[in-house]
Amino acid sequence: MDTKAIHKKLLDHFGLEVILGLTEAAEALRDPYVSVTGARIDKVCLYCRVEPKLEFDFCQSITGMDTGETLTCVYHLYSYRQKQTLVLKATTPRSAPRLPSCVSVWPAADWYEREVFDLYGIQFEGHPDLRRLLLPEDWEGHPMLKDYKQPATYRGMSTSRENPLDLLGDDPR
């Protein structure tokens, strides 16, 4: 089943309030995607997992994107039985970034959601243990946001990186 057929199946089940579209631009991509209303992403993911013609039993990754106006979560799914992939995108406002957790659908979503929370600040409602994964608990801000300002120091240590070529001294050529 191609992405267009999956989009139609999701649209028939959920309607236009949930399934926002499969644009021509999205279809032309190497990994076409279906846009989903953020507040219902957990329901769409559950349907994608249990629907017999879909059976997306593997959550390959959940990543974040900052478009400047909104924050987006990108879900890469795979069905071993159907041998097909699906990409879902759920958008949330920057002012109050919240999405339902999908940990109950795929346990692997646990650490993916923690990483997206840590780097983008998206709150995953219903997550069993939403806390930072990569950065220290007392780190301020979310470094993948476009408006993030990196602090000069953290606990007295410089956060800037030197150019590795500068460490060699003279021109290495």
Q: Is residue 161 one of the residues assigned to a domain? A: no
Q: Is residue 80 one of the residues assigned to a domain? A: yes
Q: Is residue 164 one of the residues assigned to a domain? A: no
pLDDT beneath 50, residues of the chain: none
Residue 125: domain span? 3-135
Q: Is residue 48 one of the residues assigned to a domain? A: yes
Q: What is the pLDDT of residues 39-78, one digit of tens each?
A: 999 999 999 999 999 999 999 999 999 999 999 999 999 9
pTM of the model: 0.88
Q: Is residue 32 one of the residues assigned to a domain? A: yes
Q: Is residue 160 one of the residues assigned to a domain? A: no
CATH code, domain with 76:
3.30.460.80
Q: Name the domain count of the chain.
A: 1
Q: Are 22 and 7 in contact (CB under 8 A)?
A: yes
20, burial (CB in 10 Å: exposed 0-12, middle 13-18, buried 19+): middle
Q: Is residue 114 one of the residues assigned to a domain? A: yes
Amino acid 48: pLDDT: 97
3-state secondary structure of 77: strand
Helix (H) / strand (E) element for 118: namely: helix 109-120
d(CA 26, CA 35): 9
Adjacency order of strands within the sheet including 58-66? 19-21, 33-37, 84-93, 70-79, 58-66
Q: Is residue 154 one of the residues assigned to a domain? A: no
Instruction: Give CA 166 to chain center in angstroms.
Output: 36
The 8-class DSSP code of residue 24 comes to H
Give the whole-number percent of the chain exceeding pLDDT 70.
91
